[in-house]
Amino acid sequence: MILNNSSTKRKQKPQAFWLFFPAASMLAALTVPLSVWAVWSGTGWPAGLLGAGHGHELIFGFALALVAGYTLGPQPIAVLYPLFGLWLAARLSWILLPESLLAHILGPAFALLLAWHVVPRFNAAKKWRNKMVGPLILVLCLLAVFFWLSTALDLPRTSRVPSPFTLMHSAIAGLLLLMTFMGGRLIAPAVAGTLEKKGIPLEARVQPRIEAY
């Protein structure tokens, strides 16, 4: 029995949020003071947090790390650790060397790889409010690629080629939609847990209508 338990623990896949949630929290805690320092110190360091760089890290760094933590679930070490390492390398390269080719490649590479692992998991969804999550995450990840194309390739600013700021505004709108969906999914369990602690009997812990709104 002991051998079976130990072998089960060895086979247990690590959860994505074990890595991505603490890393996202640390990124958020460091980005704000570093952004203020970059602007007010006169040094321009770190260069990756100046101008649109702060918004870039908020959306394609912090937000995508949260998406990864919420949606990847348990993953094999061979998948999770390289993916997390790619995210970390993308953050460091963008914050310290935003003009480098490495910084412009690693970020979109992480976004595409994240979409590759996450989006197919929502194909089995039957309800429309669950089906929309996959395409929404895919759009957020693709916007990281479009942002790179808009900045690194120095494309002309025409009506057919949106600026980096326009792309970030679109990403913020998509992120708000995703947060609205997640908020609806969290309300019902949170209410149920509170009522249960107060000794109030529950007819149902899961309430799809509340989650949908």
Q: Digits of tens for pLDDT over the chain (213 positions)?
A: 444 444 444 468 999 999 999 999 999 999 999 999 999 998 889 999 998 888 899 999 999 999 999 999 999 999 999 999 999 999 999 999 998 999 999 999 999 999 999 999 888 777 776 778 899 999 999 999 998 888 776 656 555 667 888 888 899 999 988 887 776 666 666 777 777 788 877 666 555 555 555
Rounded-to-integer distance, Cα 34 and Cα 41, Å? 10
Q: pLDDT at position 56, please? A: 92
Q: pLDDT at position 107, please? A: 94
Are residues 150 and 162 in contact, defined by beta-carbon separation less than 8 angstroms? Answer: yes
Q: pLDDT at position 206, please? A: 58
Q: pLDDT at position 155, please? A: 59
In b/e form, how buried is each residue of 77-116, taking b as 16+ CB within 10 angstroms? eeebeebbebbbbbbebbbeebeeeebbebbbbbbebbbe
Helix (H) and strand (E) counts in the chain: 10, 0
Q: pLDDT at position 177, please? A: 86
Q: pLDDT at position 87, please? A: 98
Judged on CB neighbours under 10 Å (0-12, 13-18, 19+), 157 is exposed
Going by C-alpha positions, the residue among 84, 52, 26 that lies closest to residue 172 is 52
Upstream peptide bond of 14 is cis (omega within 30 degrees of 0): no
